Amino acid sequence: MTTPTPMDWTLEVVIVPVSDLATSIVFYRDQVGFELDHETENGPMHFAQLTPRGSGCSIVMGNLPGQAEMAPGSLKGLQLCVADAEAARSELVDRGVECSEIQVIDPRDGGTFFGFTDPDGNSWAVQQLKVRGDTPLIPHEHRNRFGEGVEP
């Protein structure tokens, strides 16, 4: 009997609790630079999905069932990775995002961080991994969010 190949488990969506969807879309899309995958209204539900450039995981905000379980601003410590922390921080500051100063916790790759919060207080850490510049987790040619033949 052969041992089955272990199943891949991918983290695809993180729910971010926010108080105002429109304000949050503007913040994450226009200031942080996430791609707006879709904004959907279906009856009483109104929600949006946004994805950081180069990521396989998106954030979802709005009033989907389960989102009311978390208070706006209660999500702490989400982490993004970038190839160049100084350039990423500068990009965010230029777009009006208040960021902490860069901290070097360890001089090896992966030990440099800064942070920011969204308008509700959900907090993000940004970690520098220089290797992401040379070898992105998702190659550029494979970044179609919704698969072949499916429009966002």
Q: In this structure, what CATH number is given to the domain that contains residue 115?
A: 3.10.180.10
pLDDT per residue as tens, the chain (152 positions): 788 888 888 899 999 999 999 999 999 999 999 999 999 999 999 999 999 998 989 999 999 887 888 999 999 999 999 999 999 999 999 999 999 999 999 998 889 999 999 999 999 999 999 988 887 777 777 766 555 544 54
53: in domain: yes
4: in domain: no
| Long-range contact set of residues 144-151: C-beta below 8 Å, sequence gap at least 24 | 145/35, 145/37, 145/51, 145/58, 146/37
Transcribe 17-56 into DSSP letters: --S-HHHHHIIIIIII--EEEEEEEETTEEEEEEE-TT-S
Could you give phi then psi for residue 150, rounded to 5 degrees? -115, 125
User: What is the number of domains present in the chain?
Assistant: 1
35: in domain: yes
pTM of the complete model: 0.87
151: in domain: no
